[in-house]
């Protein structure tokens, strides 16, 4: 039962892999929504920042490994990088747990034949499949902590008493009281990509950052195009967790999250600065944590960045790792 690798260099070949890709993703317990085709296919179609060089490993026709790589030529030289870079908080490979070692070895060998000067593996969470890769022969490796991803371990009932500090729960109750004084307060789950949710999110995200003299993540046309392309598939696959907050009939906040395997990821949000006193962002996060608890969730990931509000919820840092292989010239 030998394994063999195929290097995919064109988008149609990557797209044709989608059914097998989903099957593999479902067999990988550590995989996040960010390794799913619902995330990475729209990412490649929206950005395509280099030359596709994805390695697919099969055994008797079954996909047992997937290394979604591309080659980038730039000021830092010719680099082999993972799809999702930039807009994605957790990058990784997919390795079938029953064939993880052999599949990783096939990926290592196939990657050596690609024309790179450095091979960069960034934003690898604890337990990432890419941590299994060995440094290739005739290469030097550097490894380090890359970015902090504060994470809350979930426990207890959906009143948050088992995992969120008392002070934060009091602040959340106060925010809800203030919001209700402004008018009827409602949190709507969003299940239809065509209902205008992304219009609300773009507007509110931009307003929030403009109020601080910044432009925010959604200022870029390609980023907006990516999210519009990805959302339908994320909803169909059950990975999206989207909420809209209305106060007195007005949309005051929006929350874009993802969830799989007991882990919820707070990816993006926005709120109307006119309602800053009512803390719509906190109301939505509290709602998302409670929903995760009701679903039997184990972790709530605030993702990259050490903003103080994340620790107020009780989150603690988990560090992504970065590995870099560089060919050693003889």
The confidence score (pLDDT) of residue 228 equals 95
The vertex-112 CA angle with 80 and 140, nearest 5°, equals 75
219-246: pLDDT as tens digits: 889 999 999 999 999 999 999 999 999 9
The confidence score (pLDDT) of residue 1 equals 65
Q: Which domains, ranges and CATH numbers included, belong to the chain?
A: 3-145+320-327 (3.40.630.30), 151-312 (3.40.630.30)
The confidence score (pLDDT) of residue 117 equals 95
123-168: pLDDT as tens digits: 999 999 999 999 998 899 999 888 999 999 999 999 999 999 999 9
Give the integer Cα–Cα distance in Å for 324 and 80: 10
Residues sharing a CB contact under 8 Å with residue 326, sequence separation 6 or more, in sequence order: 117, 118, 119, 139, 140, 141, 142
Contact 36, 239 (CB under 8 A): yes
The confidence score (pLDDT) of residue 214 equals 66
The confidence score (pLDDT) of residue 207 equals 83
HEC states along 215-278? CCHHHCHHHHHHHHHHHHHHHHCCCEEEEEEEECCEEEEEEEEEEECCEEEEEEEEECHHHHHH
**Cross-strand bridge partners of residue 326:** 118, 140
The confidence score (pLDDT) of residue 225 equals 95
Residues of the chain with pLDDT under 50: none
pTM above 0.85, yes or no: yes
The confidence score (pLDDT) of residue 26 equals 98
The confidence score (pLDDT) of residue 311 equals 98
């Amino acid at each position: 039962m030998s394994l063999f690798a195929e290097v995919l260099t064109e988008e149609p070949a990557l797209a044709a892999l989608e059914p097998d890709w989903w099957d593999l993703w479902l067999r990988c317990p550590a995989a996040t929504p960010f390794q799913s085709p619902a995330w990475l296919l729209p990412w490649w179609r929206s950005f395509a920042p280099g030359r596709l060089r994805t390695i697919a490993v099969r055994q008797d026709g079954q996909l047992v490994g997937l290394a979604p790589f591309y080659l980038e030529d730039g000021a830092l030289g010719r680099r082999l990088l993972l799809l999702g870079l930039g807009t994605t908080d957790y990058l990784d490979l997919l390795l079938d747990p029953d064939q993880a070692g052999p599949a990783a070895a096939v990926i290592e060998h196939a990657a050596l034949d690609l024309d790179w000067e450095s091979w960069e593996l960034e934003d690898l969470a604890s337990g990432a499949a890419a941590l299994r890769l060995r440094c290739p022969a005739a290469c030097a490796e550097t490894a380090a902590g890359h970015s902090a991803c504060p994470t809350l371990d979930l426990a207890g009932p959906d009143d948050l008493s088992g995992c969120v500090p008392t002070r934060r729960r009091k602040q959340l109750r106060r925010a809800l009281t203030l919001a209700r004084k402004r008018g009827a307060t409602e949190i709507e789950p969003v299940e239809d990509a065509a209902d205008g949710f992304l219009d609300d999110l773009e507007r509110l995200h931009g307003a929030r950052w403009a109020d601080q003299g910044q432009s925010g993540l959604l200022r870029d046309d390609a980023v907006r195009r990516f999210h519009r392309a990805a959302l339908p598939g994320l909803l169909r696959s059950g990975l999206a967790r989207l909420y809209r907050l209305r106060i007195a009939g007005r949309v005051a906040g929006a929350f874009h999250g993802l969830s799989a395997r007991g882990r919820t990821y707070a990816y993006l949000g926005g709120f109307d600065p006119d309602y800053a006193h009512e803390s719509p962002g906190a109301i939505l996060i509290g709602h998302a944590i409670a929903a995760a608890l009701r679903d039997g969730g184990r972790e709530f990931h605030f993702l990259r960045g050490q903003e103080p509000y994340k620790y107020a919820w009780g989150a603690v840092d988990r560090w992504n790792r970065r590995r870099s292989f560089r060919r050693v010239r003889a």
